[in-house]
Amino acid sequence: MSARADIGDTVPDISLETPDGGSVKPSDFKGKPLVLFFYPKDDTPGCTTENKDFTALADEFEKAGAALLGVSKDPPKKHQKFIDKHGLAAPLASDPEEDGLADALGIWVEKNMYGRTYMGMERTTYLVDAKGKIAQVWRKVKVKGHAQAVLEAAQAL
């Protein structure tokens, strides 16, 4: 397990799969801020709300010059169903099962629920500046009001 990436660190340039079968990586966004939000699972209540909140503010992020990218370990086909079902505007990408971006950032962590231990995504958002450095980090995100707080930080960059 790698150390957690923090403010001032360069985001690892690890390729992610897009729902259309293509790929995307953090360096594709160099020259403009990037909101990289990691969430545990498509179509679960908190993750659906978080994605809808970012979608509702997508135009505002665009006006601020910031790109959005939501990431989970779900496969691309599942992402596409999730996007279609909820009319999501924020692009989604799939992180590889092993040695992915979440691993490199230190947010693919051991979780515990009902006495069962498993590996899972720690809901985390990174605001990455135009040079690819982490400008701000939100860890163990509480969904309510989160997208708005990230927007305000992006506008202030």
Within a 13 Å sphere around the CA of 30, how many CA atoms are in the beta-carbon half? 9
Could you list the pLDDT tens digit for every one of the 157 residues in the chain? 457 899 999 999 999 999 999 999 999 999 999 999 999 999 999 999 999 999 999 999 999 999 999 999 999 999 999 999 999 999 999 998 889 999 999 999 999 989 999 999 999 999 999 999 999 999 999 999 999 999 999 999 9
Q: Is 84 helix (H, G, I), strand (E, B) or coil?
A: helix
Note the pTM of the prediction, 2 decimals: 0.95
- Whether residue 60 is contained in a domain is answered as yes
- Whether residue 148 is contained in a domain is answered as yes
Other Cβ atoms less than 10 A from the Cβ of 139: the count is 12
- Whether residue 39 is contained in a domain is answered as yes
Q: Which residues are catalytic, by number?
A: 47
What total of structural domains would you count in the chain? 1
Buried b (16+ CB within 10 A) or exposed e, 1-22: eeeebeeebebbebbbbbbeee
- Whether residue 13 is contained in a domain is answered as no
Instruction: Say if CB 48 and CB 9 are below 8 A apart.
Output: no
- Whether residue 27 is contained in a domain is answered as no
Q: Which domain covers residue 151, as residue numbers?
A: 32-156
Whole-angstrom Cα distance, residue 8 to residue 30? 15
- Whether residue 103 is contained in a domain is answered as yes
What CATH number is given to the structural domain containing 43? 3.40.30.10
Instruction: Say if CB 9 and CB 137 are below 8 A apart.
Output: no
Give the rounded distance of the alpha carbon of 114 from its chain centre: 26
- Whether residue 25 is contained in a domain is answered as no
- Whether residue 139 is contained in a domain is answered as yes
- Report the alpha-carbon angle 101-33-97, nearest 5: 15
